[in-house]
Structure 1
Amino acid sequence: MKTDIINLLSSTRNYFFQNARTYDNIYIERVLKDIECYEVISFDIFDTILTRLVECPIDVFSIVEKYLIEKGHSCVGFAVARFESEKIARDIAYQQNIEEVTLDNIYEQLKITYPEYRDVIEEAKQTEIMIEINYCVPSLDNLFLINKIFEKNKKIILVSDMYLDEETIKKMLSKVGVSSFDKLYLSSNLLKTKNHGTIWQNVLDDYANQKILHIGDNYYSDVEVPKRNGIDTIWYNSLITERRLGGQLSTDIIPFSLIKKMILLTDKVISKDFWFVFGICCGSFFIYSFLQWLNDHVRKNKIEHVYFCSRDAQIIYNLWKEFNFDKLCGVTSSYLYISRFVLGYSQCYIECQKHNKLSEASLTFLSNHNIVEGQTNRDVLTRLKINISDIDVNNFVNKFGDLDSKFNFSLLDDFKFYLGHDLLPLLLPQFEEQYKNSYQYYDQEGIFSSKKIAIVDLGWSGTLQQALTLFRENHGIKEKISGFYYGLHNGLATGRIFYNGLMNAAFFSEFNDPNKSFLMKNSINILENLHVADHESVIGFTKSMEKYIPIFKEKKDNLKEQVVNLNRFYKGLHLVISKWVKNEDVFGINSDYIDVNTAKGALAQVICSPTSLEVKELGNILHAPGYDHEIYFPLIWSNEEPWDEKIYPMIHRGGWLCGQLLYWKYNGYYSDNVHLYQIVSNELSNYPTILKNFILG
């Protein structure tokens, strides 16, 4: 009987054979021309002749774990144990001057290091072999070439660095249509490797005085090293795999890994469109799963009307409407123009009317959340819309320094006191205007009705829900609002749960899983910028034609490229979701395999272990940390900016710690700067060891 994971693997494998992309004719013609002057043509095996169905080879360990769990074994964490056992086995071999390990060596080490898996060791090993044999697919380019080379009566040899045994490798090759070759050089047999260069001496001894051409995917071991040994090479890089550990080899990463690889294998054009692919294999996961999660929670909590908050929830709202979730849930829904700025100022007005002062939370909102490193005192006042002529300049200068000097963050508490006393009379008219116009708009939209209502937002601290609750209370409405979110911060949202009412998060909740808060912290700024709407931030409301409408902040020209990229992202995810809601497969993946857990697996892989391309593309996203969205920074601080004395602001400014640190890793910063390496190591002290080692390694 097939397990669920075997059905999934079979579906993606079948999709490959039904949709395999066309041959790379330029590559094939080049090789056929080049081989004329060689007697022996050598091929690497993995990612050259055949390739796995997963994006990262180590994801096979997650598949083994999933298979064992479905068979009834208690094996959560097996994939990490398999990964770590291979590392230990290789370290031991290295100390003994042995270049390679075998699968038997690895599983013997696993039995020693992880005795809790002792009872499933043999079944796990046989499962891994079974998956390797049955769920690899051929490189059509090189399969075609091998047949052509045979026609030319040239010798074909295979050279591979691999821990699998010869019998398994031959079965894998036979499965993809390669059964005839002159000789197989396998590191697990010879205990010599391409990477060290020692295996090539065996090849040269066997084919002395014959010209050899080697074709392979690894630039170092398949190109540089054989060249040093006098062997000509061709680099075949169409099937290069990735290495990720952001998802810590959880079984939740499997659907993402499969769909990512299937795009590479079956659609050459799409695979080069980064943002479109990102929408297909990541955006679709978290938005589709959230729609399904929201559907369940709206029905369970008997919500009557759902408000999707601007701007973050616009794309969710559009898809909710397009695919008729209102009818599925038996609710009504609408898009609510809202912003932290408008509600924050309105909340300040209510506090001043009730208590004649601002709360600590509001003072923090007006100061901490809106002052950016490098701003001058004048900038800070200008962003608060304070006219310099309206303040006692001498008093201000005595307290905080010259107007054009940089804001001194050590005086932040003093500034908050100054803001709540000296500046409050100047700010109060702004608060009042926002409150009165906002009230009219929200009354018009039904916020003050007696229906059981809920808001949908990305979340983080529950600020909007709190402000709307305060608005309603101020008008005598005691019924609570429900809030449905992507994630909630433990620190700020905790005290709001009792006051706000129901607060549920689909993906991240530090209340339930504080040990995984690193994923949420790395995701926030990326997710916020992936959910940007087709309008700017709301900065107020005005009456027009007997109706209150939003006033938007002026559009920024510097976001044009970002908008183009995000449109490609939206098209990719829409393509997938439109099929999944009709129960159609996408690249061999059915919607049955997509839920909040597999969505988190996809996010973890990309956000906590991004590739160099993902670091480049996502790192260029411009993010505005302030509530007024006036100042933008890229998520990753590049080497074009000075940073020697700003290391800590640099690490945290973009909010994407993993991206920033991997940018440095990919650009060789750690090797040149021991001090930086130590700082980074300290920053990762609370991260899972497997992820910390990946980022530092």
Structure 2
Amino acid sequence: MIIHPSINLFVLWVLNDAIKKRKQKLYFLARDGYFMHRIAEFYCTLWNLQIECEYIYCSRFSLRLASYYLDMDSALDHICRGGIDVNLKKIMGRTGLSKQEIAVVLKYIKLPYEYTEPIPYKQLKQVKKGLKDCAYFIECVKKHSKKKYSIMQAYLSQVGLMDDGTAAFVDSGWTGSIQETLNLVLKASGKKEEVDGYYWGLYEIPSGSKREMYHSFYFTPEKGYKRKIFFSNCLFEVLVSAPYGMTKGYIEKDGRIIPKCGKISIYNREIIRIEQENLDAYLVQIKRRMKNIDFSNIDFEKEKRVISKNLTRLMSCPTIKEAFVLGRMKFSDDIVDDNAVCLARKMNEIELIQNHLMEKILRSYGISKKSCCESAWYEGSIVRSHWRWIHWANYIIYKSLLYIKKEFYGAYRYVRTK
């Protein structure tokens, strides 16, 4: 009732725009593009659309690890980026280094943090500087990256990304960084044209990127702050994911390059299996109703208002049962999902208060040195609290200020670089 109609409308919007722009091929990126790809193939068959839909096994980890050596400044940005419970263990897990190499690096840089101690966001610049000044670290990263680059490049060539013709990526979005990485690889391989992308939503785009290459459906860097406030990108990711783990790399077998995927929790796999069954039933109903419909006449803005109400209700104000069932799904906001935790982690009252507006302001200015327990789906974590609506109101105020600020910055940056 909520997720399938939402991604169905998104896919219709993508196909509609792709036909207008005469795209010959759409590349749906794993794993968020899993259901989207199935829906797109369904419509291409139903309406005999002349668009080829390809599914690419990839992840931020598999692509970045292989392309780090092409741009080490960008690589360090990705390695030292923020997130939930970022520590040295997570940062080193993004590098591809062996345990022995990590031990040597940590001796060289001598940072004042334990291996699993959370690092405040503002201190990540200190970590980045330490790694940048460590010649041994840079040498190790480049060495591992170059080893993985050729086979990754061969896989992208195998799925047709190096071919001529108009194409676009399709993904959930958020920052558009995978598009940036893929275009970096394509450029290094000799492809002249950049490939643009269609996204469910974008909070920002990579610095220096062309704004017109990023197309967004539900919200953009410049608009849609109300939708951003009542939306959970983490919940969205687990609900549109694939029934297997992240792509960790590629191997050659019988003359073909195949992806090497990680594991997925049994619970996540079961939820996704149920989703697949529901999607099949949903598409049967769609086939009966939409076979003779001209989808270019769909009022997408009107339909977005309908799905927005449903998404807001589920994501921002879930019932106890919804929070319990969906909140138990494993999620990781890191490029490596080996340390995935419950989407809506259990939090006591003190931990919930740590996410209030004033607490976040005090930490951001360095006034408070307290560490903060964060939840990937905070709205799901608060449902059992006696003070649920106080926690919810504080969090919504925080998100409102955050996204209004980002929207002003996005609008200014877009107009300035247009």
Question: Which band: TM-score by shorter chain?
Answer: 0.7 to 0.9
1:540–1:550: 8 Å Cα contact kept in structure 2? yes
Q: Are 1:347 and 2:59 an aligned pair? A: no
Q: How does 1:64-79 map to 2 (within 5 A)?
A: none
Aligned pair in 2 of structure 1 residues 312, 472: CA closer, same or farther (>3 Å)? same
Match of 1:431 in 2: 145
Cα 1:472–1:388 change in 2 (3 A) is closer
Instruction: Look up the equivalent residue of 2:255 and give its one-letter code.
Output: E
Distance 1:293 1:476, change over 3 A: same
Judged with a 3 Å threshold, the aligned counterparts in structure 2 of structure 1 residues 415 and 308 are, in CA distance, closer, same or farther, namely same
Does residue 536 in structure 1 map to residue 245 in structure 2?
A: yes
- Kept in 2, the 8 Å contact 1:460–1:493? The answer is no
Separation in 1 of the partners of 2:299 and 2:216?
Answer: 20
Change (3 A) 1:667 1:370: closer
C-alpha change, 1:515 and 1:645, in structure 2 (3 Å) is closer
Structure 1 residues 410-429: aligned runs within 5 Å = 411-422=123-134, 423-429=137-143
Distance in 2 of aligned mates of 1:506 and 1:678: 27
Q: How does 1:89-238 map to 2 (within 5 A)?
A: none
- In 2, Cα distance between equivalents of 1:363 and 1:611: 41
Q: Distance in 2 between matches of 1:616 and 1:483?
A: 34
Structure 2 residue 15 is the aligned partner of structure 1 residue 295: yes
Contact 1:462 / 1:496 at 8 angstroms: preserved in 2?
A: no
Q: Could you tell me how far 1:508 is from its partner in structure 2?
A: 1.9
Of residues 364, 369, 372 in structure 1, which corresponds to 2:85? 372
CA 1:538–1:301: 2 relative to 1, 3 Å: same
Q: In the alignment, which of 568, 572, 592 is matched to residue 274 of structure 2?
A: 568
Distance 1:430 1:398 in 2: 20
What is aligned with 1:446?
Answer: 160
Q: Identify the residue that residue 332 of structure 2 maps to in structure 1.
A: 624
Question: For each residue in 1:85-124, what CA deviation from the matched residue of structure 2 results, as whole angstroms up to 9, or x when unmatched?
Answer: xxxxxxxxxxxxxxxxxxxxxxxxxxxxxxxxxxxxxxxx
Aligned partners of 1:379, 1:599: CA distance in 2, in Å? Answer: 36
* Whole-Å separation in 2 of the counterparts to 1:510 and 1:529: 22
Give the direction of change, closer, same or farther, for the CA distance of 1:526–1:680 in structure 2 (3 Å limit). Answer: closer
Larger Rg: 1
State the match for 2:386 in structure 1: 668
> 1:436 and 1:572, CA in 2 relative to 1: closer, same or farther beyond 3 A?
same
- Contact 2:97/2:140 (8 A) holds in 1: yes
Conservation of the 8 A alpha-carbon contact between 1:311 and 1:337: yes
Separation (CA, whole Å) in 2 of partners of 1:629 and 1:370: 13
Give the unaligned 5+ runs of structure 1: 1-280, 352-357, 586-590, 689-697
Alpha-carbon separation, structure 2, partners of 1:533 and 1:362? 27
CA RMSD of aligned residues (A): 3.4
Tell me which amino acid in the other structure corresponds to 1:603: L
1:324, 1:391 → 2: CA distance?
Answer: 48
Change (3 A) 1:533 1:670: closer
How far has the Cα of 1:299 moved from its partner? 0.4
| Paired residue secondary structure (2:9) | helix
Residue identity opposite 1:571 in structure 2:
E
Residues 607-686 of structure 1 correspond to what in structure 2 (within 5 A)?
607-639=315-347, 643=351, 646-647=354-355, 653-661=374-382, 663=383, 666-669=384-387, 680=395, 683=398, 686=401
1:616 positional shift:
2.2
Residue 427 of structure 1: SS of its match in structure 2?
Answer: helix
Distance 1:505 1:677 in 2: 28
| Cα drift, residue 300 of structure 1 | 0.7
Say which is worse superposed, 321-330 or 429-438, in terms of deviation. Answer: 321-330
Equivalent in 293, 297, 313 of residue 33 of structure 2: 313
Measure the CA separation in 2 of the matches of 1:644 and 1:320: 40
Task: Tell which has more relative contact order, 1 or 2 (C-alpha 8 A, sep 6+).
Answer: 2
The secondary structure found in structure 2 opposite 1:625 is coil
CA–CA distance in structure 1, aligned partners of residues 44 and 234 of structure 2: 29
**Paired residues of 1:525 and 1:654 also in contact (CA < 8 A):** no
Q: Take 1:641 and 1:624, find their aligned partners in 2: how far apart are those partners? A: 23
The secondary structure found in structure 1 opposite 2:199 is strand
The 1:494–1:597 alpha-carbon spacing in structure 2 relative to 1, beyond 3 Å, is farther
Deviation per CA, 1:443-475: give whole Å up to 9, x if none. 121111111011111111111211121122213
Give the secondary structure class of the aligned counterpart of 1:324. helix
For the residue of structure 1 that corresponds to 2:197, the secondary structure is strand
3-state DSSP class of the match of 1:507?
Answer: strand
Equivalents in 2 of 1:620, 1:394: separation in Å?
36
User: Gaps spanning 5+ residues in structure 2: where?
Assistant: 292-296, 361-370, 404-418
User: 1:584 offset after TM fit, Å?
Assistant: 7.3
Give the one of 457, 460, 473 matched to 2:174. 460
Give the Å deviation of 1:298.
1.2
Counterpart Cα distance in 2 of 1:302 and 1:638? 48
Letter in 2 for 1:653: E
The aligned counterpart of 1:588 is: none
Deviation, structure 1 residue 440: 0.9
2:233 equivalent to 1:518:
no
Shift in alpha-carbon separation, 1:577–1:346, aligned structure 2, 3 A: same
Q: For the Cα contact (< 8 Å) 1:326–1:332, is it kept in 2? A: no
Q: CA deviation at 1:288?
A: 1.8
Contact 1:310-1:338 within 8 A present in 2 as well: yes
AA aligned to 1:416 is K
Q: Distance in 2 between matches of 1:458 and 1:432?
A: 28
- Once residues 396 and 170 of structure 2 are traced to their aligned partners in structure 1, the CA distance between those partners, rounded to angstroms, is 37
The Cα offsets for residues 52-100 of structure 1, whole Å up to 9 and x where unpaired, read as xxxxxxxxxxxxxxxxxxxxxxxxxxxxxxxxxxxxxxxxxxxxxxxxx
Task: For 1:391 and 1:337, locate their aligned partners in 2 and report how far apart those are by CA, in whole Å.
Answer: 28
Of 528, 546, 554, the residue aligned with 2:255 is 546
Query: Which deviates more, 610-619 or 456-465?
Result: 610-619
The CA distance in 1 between the partners of 2:181 and 2:142, in whole Å, is: 17
Change (3 A) 1:326 1:506: farther
Alignment of 1:682-697 (within 5 A): 683=398, 686=401
Q: Distance in 2 between matches of 1:678 and 1:592?
A: 36
Distance in 1 of aligned mates of 2:35 and 2:79? 29
Q: Which moved more, 1:509-518 or 1:524-533?
A: 509-518
TM-aligned CA distance change 1:404 to 1:580, over 3 Å: closer
Q: Report the counterpart of residue 496 of structure 1 in structure 2.
A: 209
1:337 and 2:48 matched: no
1:374-395 deviations in whole A, cap 9, x for unaligned? x5x4565456343454467597
Helix, strand or coil for the counterpart of 2:209? helix
1:579 aligns with 2:285: yes
Decide whether the 8 Å contact of 1:309 with 1:337 is kept in 2.
Answer: yes
Give the Cα separation in 2 of the matches to 1:366 and 1:489: 20
Please list the CA deviations of residues 628-668 of structure 1 after superposition, one character each: whole Å capped at 9, or x if unmatched. Answer: 1111122223246973785469988334343344x1xx531
Paired with 1:403 and 1:387, the residues of 2 have a C-alpha distance of 18
Q: Using the alignment, how far apart are the partners of 2:210 and 2:35 within structure 1? A: 26
